[in-house]
Amino acid sequence: MVALPGRFNDGRTAASRKVMVSPSAAGLDIRGEDGLLVAFWRIDDLRADGELPDGGVRLRCLADPDARLSMTQAEFVRPLLPPPPRFPWSKAVAALIGTAGLLAALWLGIPAASRWLGDMVPRSWENAWGDALVSGLEKQWGACGQPAGDAALRLLVDRLSTGLEPSQRPRRVLVVRQRDINAIALPGGTVMVFSGLLKDARDPGELAGVLAHEFTHLRLRHPVAAMIRATGVGVAVTLITGDSSGVVATAAAMGLAGAYSREDEAAADTGGVAVLRSAGLDARGMASFFRRLGEKSGMVPVWLSTHPDSLARAEAVEALDGPAAAPPLNGEQWQALKGICGAEKAKP
């Protein structure tokens, strides 16, 4: 029987003692320099515990987990050790499924939680920050106002509000000097119509369609939910990736914000048609507006955009539309509203 030199730590003190180790098929017979038995490690309990810098191996024993045996001449011992564990495929698959499940839960959970939290925000709070936001934007862009145009806008807003509960009506609708073809619903019940959109609109029905869409955003409290959602996405991504620089979180928040807001937009389209119809109007203007929007852009892929594909929206709106109705404003009122910003003074 060969006897190999080794260093033994009994796991009770940090002292190291020189031993002679005799490997056999039954296990390792470990004796002190005096020849007395120090320990016998059964072959089934034997585990590799690490490589030593001098090429040796460190061993441990399941029956005495704190003890260690270091051997420089390891060639007789290595064949006795159990093979290194195989790659844990089942664990890896479980981890992948778990990750996918977690992501799915977040994907579905974040919008639901944001809606729930958004509903809990008191109206007075929402109005206070919404108004602060609106006055900032108003100062930056400049609001439009002319008596005849204001009157026409009020007429249109009142007409659209007939189908809404008093608490769900917008608190303020204004036109701001911005060239983009857009309108936004802000926290606190404010709708801003950009002068670019007003200029682009062909008839009062188109503007009515856009307003009905924005009013539905407000009724469903989308602006608050979207703010909370954006925060939630940022937090979730930071949590998963541990990236505190915010680079990944911002990118993901933008990507997901688009995906989530497309759902909001679809809901606002459907609700907008209902608003129009309860006001005794048709949704033909809404559909024609989307159709024109789709012909203009159409370059940005849907999954990157915050809004669904415009042509698809137009078709969805047409499917919900009822019989044709009279336009909400007469020609004179419509011209007054179109001229609310005065002649071509829109800021770049």
* Least distance CB 6 / another protein (angstroms): 12
CA-nearest of 56, 63, 44, 80 to 5 is 56
Written in H, E and C, the secondary structure of 251-269 is HHHHHHHHHHHHHHHHHHH
In the list 14, 25, 36, 299, the residue contacting another protein (rule: CB under 8 A) is 14
DSSP 282: -
Interaction between residue 231 and another protein (CB under 8 A): yes
Q: Tell me the pairing of strands 57-61 and 64-71.
A: antiparallel
Interaction between residue 101 and another protein (CB under 8 A): no
Contact 58, 72 (CB under 8 A): no
* Least distance CB 250 / another protein (angstroms): 16
Contact 240, 105 (CB under 8 A): no
* Least distance CB 304 / another protein (angstroms): 20
Q: Which is nearer to another protein, 127 or 270 (CB)?
A: 127
Q: Which is nearer to another protein, 1 or 120 (CB)?
A: 120
In the list 6, 70, 156, 163, the residue contacting another protein (rule: CB under 8 A) is 70
User: Rounded to whole angstroms, how far apart are CA atoms 317 and 110?
Assistant: 28
In the list 183, 210, 228, 293, the residue contacting another protein (rule: CB under 8 A) is 228
Q: Let me know the angle formed at the C-alpha of 174 by 169 and 176, rounded to the nearest 5 degrees.
A: 150
Can you read off the two tokens belonging to residue 90? 């089942």
Interaction between residue 242 and another protein (CB under 8 A): yes
Task: Give residues 116-155 in contact with another protein (rule: CB under 8 A).
Answer: 117, 121-122, 124-126, 128-129, 132
* Least distance CB 164 / another protein (angstroms): 24
Task: Give residues 80-99 in contact with another protein (rule: CB under 8 A).
Answer: 95, 99
Contact 198, 348 (CB under 8 A): no
* Least distance CB 14 / another protein (angstroms): 4
Q: How many CB atoms lie within 10 A of CB 207?
A: 27
* Least distance CB 23 / another protein (angstroms): 20
Contact 146, 336 (CB under 8 A): yes
Interaction between residue 172 and another protein (CB under 8 A): no
* Least distance CB 125 / another protein (angstroms): 4
Task: Give residues 20-59 in contact with another protein (rule: CB under 8 A).
Answer: 49-53, 58
Can you read off the two tokens belonging to residue 235? 């937090």
- The Cα diameter of the chain in Å comes to 115
* Residue ranges that bind another protein, judged by CB under 8 A: 7, 9-16, 49-53, 58, 66-68, 70, 95, 99, 103, 117, 121-122, 124-126, 128-129, 132, 228, 231, 235, 239-243
